[in-house]
């Protein structure tokens, strides 16, 4: 067993139903660490940028990091890496829970899934043995039903990652759900599984993960525990209220996108806040394996209209299904969240797409004859019904399943899709938080908050407080956050730890686990290498720098209300500086010198 890495790759060809074990490319592991970086390296070497994402030529890579499965705080993440059917960009979607560690315990760093089965199948992994099994009986089942059935027939202690009906029907924002409630959510990775007739991956692993210097690693891990338990965000805010602690904070900042970004404050924010969830449907909090934060919310509905139980909704979901749609009905939001988990859909894109549809309805472009119900902003009943239609692919749900850009474009008004590179925005208005505007425009997978969370310094004051309306210096900050996030995603640890720990602690964990002797600058260079690798793939895939922009609404329509009233996103003041800081040319293309410095040529 290698230090941190297992040193093994499982390659699965669904067309031939064969499984083979290969040695991990350790040179790549040292350069890209693991997770997002290593998965992206394998993908860019094996999948042509022009590949149709839903064709058998696309590949899906499930990849852990060198810290996944080790003793430590929140060391339990994996990435699903592929080419996105929603955006056409390189996709790497992150999830936690228990499945990632189980995959590592089974002896694999990566699972590369290629080809296409001729009928529904699922992958069974038991330590270093793997086989492709029939899944005809699982096709059409919800994610909950699928996991329960697999546990009964395969192994009661297995961990399962699967798709629901949305993935089977190729909903462009279908996700991969593991442990019933955790999701590799964004970019449509579940649709890629569905296109391959792969219903699930079930893993049982009983091995361990070795580290190079066990005493030093334990001390490094204890240091992160101490820091997480003493920071107000990770020790107080997230455990008490989960990510929904942000609802009132962002609303009071004037940057809570409401009614498809028509305004920046929501009068019903208190009704869908973490505080209100704690008073109503919350049963307890829950963490992923080895986590000391416990930001997950275990909930159960007690509403006469709807029943159900599960996990969530989290902040982004509360926003997308709530404020974005003008809905202050917490029961409807919670029910719609459960539907997303069971059908296997990304809540951010699902909610944002319904919000877009509500504006189309508001403008008279979509009619009740199409939707079957008045699709008005504020209607919780309409939200739940639309999610049912998306999940089953029925009626208007088929159009919603394209995502908001595909939906709005089909009506001739793509500008009403609040997206970058066809990926929907999360819960922060770039007009109110300028660093987030820059992050959205430049993110390699489209509008994304977890590629460079500038909310941290601009709103929360971590690691220091920045004025959210000042543009000077934001390019450097954004690049730094983006590169460090790439490191965290590649290492296999949770991004939430970075509220309390930084590059010195992550570097120490990586070195003591792997036996490498990397400087902090070398670790951050690995993150920069990942970022540029993704950028080059996107350029070759036809994602031009002209798409480093924002919808006209954010650039031209000032916020009409709240503390940020009158503000627009000042992208033009930041983008040239960002290209310069990145070492790219004025057109946003990485220079030969920059690529050579990073070892990418």
CA distance linking residue 189 with residue 185, whole number of Å: 8
CATH at residue 362: 1.10.569.10
Q: What angle do CA 96, 99, 104 make, to 5 degrees?
A: 105
Q: Please indicate, yes or no, whether residues 106 and 199 belong to a single structural domain of this protein.
A: yes
Structure-block tokens of residue 254 = 């004037």
The structural domain count of the chain equals 3
- Long-range contacts of residues 368-376, Cβ cutoff 8 Å, at least 24 apart: 370/395, 370/396, 371/395, 371/396, 372/396
CATH number at residue 84: 3.60.9.10
pLDDT digits (tens, 9 = 90+) for 36-93: 999 999 999 999 999 999 999 999 999 999 999 998 878 999 999 999 999 999 999 9
Q: What percent of the chain has pLDDT over 70?
A: 100
Reduced to 3 states (helix: H, G, I; strand: E, B; else coil), residue 123 is: strand
The confidence score (pLDDT) of residue 280 equals: 96
Q: Which burial class, exposed, middle or buried, applies to 26 when counting CB atoms under 10 A from its CB (0-12, 13-18, 19+)?
A: exposed
Identify whether 364 is part of a domain: yes
The span from the CA of 298 to the CA of 287, in Å, is 10
240 and 98 in a single domain? The answer is: no
Q: Using the 3D structure, point to which of 423, 445, 469 is the last residue of a domain.
A: 423
Same-domain check for residues 554 and 530: yes
pLDDT at 302: 87
Q: What string of H, E and C letters represents the secondary structure of 435-451? A: HHHHHHHHCCCCCCCCC
CA distance 436 to 414: 22
Contacts of 296 (CB under 8 A, 6+ apart): 181, 242, 285, 286, 287, 288, 311, 312
Give the pLDDT confidence of 508-564 residue by residue, as tens digits: 999 999 999 999 999 999 999 999 999 999 999 999 999 999 999 999 999 999 999
CA distance 508 to 517: 9
267/301 Cα distance (integer angstroms): 23
pLDDT band per the 50, 70, 90 thresholds, residue 298: very high
Asked if 360 and 254 sit in the same domain, the reply is yes
Residue 286 included in any domain? yes
Helix, strand or coil for residue 13? strand
- The one-character DSSP state at 47 is S
Residue 309: beta bridge partners? 300
Dihedral class, residue 113 (left if φ above 0, else alpha if ψ from -120 to 50, else beta):
beta
Give just the sign of the alpha carbon dihedral 366, 370, 373, 379: negative
3-state secondary structure of 112: strand
Per-residue pLDDT for 1 more than 60?
Answer: no
Query: Cβ neighbours of residue 276 under 8 Å, at least 6 residues apart?
Result: 270, 330
pLDDT at residue 227 tops 60? yes
Give the residue from 423, 443, 473 where a domain finishes. Answer: 423
Which band of pLDDT confidence, cut at 50, 70 and 90, is reported for residue 209?
Answer: very high
Residue 489 lies inside a defined structural domain of this protein = yes
Domain that holds residue 256: 232-423
Same domain? For 456 and 484 the reply is yes
Task: State residue 71's pLDDT score.
Answer: 87
pLDDT of residue 521: 97
In a domain, 226, yes or no: no
């Amino acid at each position: 067993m290698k230090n941190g890495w297992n040193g093994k790759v499982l390659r699965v060809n669904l067309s031939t139903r064969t499984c083979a074990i290969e040695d991990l490319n350790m040179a790549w592991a040292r350069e890209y660490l693991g997770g997002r970086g290593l998965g992206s390296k394998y993908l860019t070497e094996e999948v042509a940028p022009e590949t149709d994402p839903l064709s058998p030529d696309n590949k899906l890579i499930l990849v852990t990091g060198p810290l996944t499965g080790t003793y430590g705080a929140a060391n339990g993440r994996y990435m699903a890496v592929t080419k996105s059917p929603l955006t056409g960009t390189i996709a790497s979607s992150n999830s936690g829970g228990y499945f990632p560690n189980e995959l590592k315990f089974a002896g694999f760093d990566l699972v590369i899934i290629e080809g296409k089965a001729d009928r529904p199948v699922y992958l069974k992994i038991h330590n270093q043995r793997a086989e492709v099994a029939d899944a005809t009986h699982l096709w059409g089942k919800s994610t909950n039903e699928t996991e329960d059935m697999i546990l009964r027939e395969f192994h009661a202690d297995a961990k399962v990652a699967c798709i629901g009906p949305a993935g089977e029907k190729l909903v462009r924002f279908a996700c991969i759900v593991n442990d019933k409630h955790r999701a590799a959510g964004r970019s449509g990775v579940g649709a890629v599984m569905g296109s391959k007739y792969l219903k699930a991956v079930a893993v049982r692993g009983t091995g361990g993960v070795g580290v190079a210097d066990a005493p030093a690693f334990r001390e490094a891990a204890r240091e992160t525990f101490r820091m997480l338990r003493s920071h107000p965000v990770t020790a107080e805010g997230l455990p008490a209220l989960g990510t929904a602690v942000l609802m009132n904070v962002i609303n009071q900042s004037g940057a809570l996108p409401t009614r498809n970004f028509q305004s920046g404050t929501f009068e019903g924010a208190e009704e869908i806040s973490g505080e209100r969830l704690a008073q109503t449907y919350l049963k307890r909090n829950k963490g992923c394996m080895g986590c000391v934060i416990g930001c997950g919310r275990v909930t159960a509905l007690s509403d006469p209209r709807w029943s159900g139980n599960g996990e969530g909704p989290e902040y982004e979901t509360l926003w997308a299904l709530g404020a974005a749609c003008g809905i202050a009905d917490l029961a409807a939001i919670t029910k719609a969240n459960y539907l997303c988990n069971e059908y296997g859909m990304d809540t951010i894109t699902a909610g944002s797409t319904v919000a877009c549809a509500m504006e189309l309805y508001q403008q008279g472009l979509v009619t009740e004859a199409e939707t079957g119900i008045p699709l008005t902003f504020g209607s919780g009943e309409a939200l739940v019904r639309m999610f049912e239609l998306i999940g089953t692919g029925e009626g208007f749900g088929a159009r919603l399943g394209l995502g908001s850009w595909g939906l709005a474009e089909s009506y001739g008004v793509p500008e009403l899709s609040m997206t970058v590179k066809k990926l929907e925005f999360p819960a922060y208005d770039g007009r109110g938080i300028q660093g987030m505007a820059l992050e959205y425009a430049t993110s390699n997978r489209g509008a994304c908050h977890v590629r460079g969370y500038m909310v941290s310094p601009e709103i929360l004051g971590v690691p220091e407080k920045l004025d959210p309306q000042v543009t000077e210096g934001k390019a450097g900050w954004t690049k730094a956050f983006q590169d460090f996030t790439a490191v965290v995603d590649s290492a296999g640890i949770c991004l939430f730890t970075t509220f309390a720990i930084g590059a010195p602690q992550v570097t120490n964990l990586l070195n003591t686990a792997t036996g490498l002797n990397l400087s902090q600058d070398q670790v951050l260079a690995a993150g920069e290498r990942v970022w540029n690798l993704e950028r080059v793939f996107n350029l070759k895939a036809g994602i031009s720098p002209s798409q480093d922009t924002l919808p006209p609404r954010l650039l031209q329509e000032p916020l009409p209300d709240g503390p940020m009233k009158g503000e627009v996103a000042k992208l033009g003041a930041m983008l040239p500086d960002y290209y310069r800081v990145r070492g790219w040319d004025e057109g946003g293309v990485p220079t030969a010198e920059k690529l050579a410095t990073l070892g990418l040529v």
